[in-house]
């Protein structure tokens, strides 16, 4: 049976957490750009089509995309709160601060 040493899990897996941090950083840059470009294209098409319902449809689509983008931005904070709560309840000692540091600042991970 393989037992993991939870106390050094984050220190042993800094490469993985660094990659996750870089992916989140890229998402935080790309998602707002895509939201603006796609919203502009949708509204441009709606205005050019000159149909009454198209502008409303484009606005609804933009609202759903903005909510999805907001969820993606809030998700790391929610995960951090859940980890904090789980650590308090279980009483497990783990160096999760290393994990969080690597996700928040991947360029300084392991330094």
The residue written with tokens 């941090």 in the block is: 21
Is the pLDDT score of 7 beyond 70? no
Candidates 87, 78, 70, 89; CA nearest to 9 is 87
Question: What would you report as the CA-atom Rg of the chain, rounded to the nearest whole angstrom?
Answer: 20
pLDDT digits 0-9 by tens, 16-48: 888 888 888 898 889 889 999 998 998 888 889
**Where along the chain do its domains lie?**
22-105
Q: What is the C-alpha to C-alpha distance for residues 54 and 57, in angstroms, rounded to an integer?
A: 5
**Residue 1 confidence (pLDDT):** 41
pLDDT digits 0-9 by tens, 66-104: 998 888 888 878 877 887 777 777 666 666 777 777 878
């Amino acid at each position: 049976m393989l037992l993991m040493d939870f106390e050094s899990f984050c220190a042993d897996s800094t490469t993985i957490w660094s990659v996750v941090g870089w992916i989140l950083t890229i998402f935080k840059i790309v998602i707002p750009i895509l939201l603006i470009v796609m919203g502009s294209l949708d509204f441009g098409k709606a205005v050019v089509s000159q149909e009454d319902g198209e502008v409303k449809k484009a606005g609804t689509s933009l609202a759903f995309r903005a909510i999805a983008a907001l969820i993606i931005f809030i998700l790391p904070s929610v995960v951090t709160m859940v980890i904090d709560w789980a650590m308090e309840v279980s009483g497990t000692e783990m160096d999760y601060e290393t994990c969080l540091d690597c996700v928040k600042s991947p360029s300084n991970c392991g330094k």
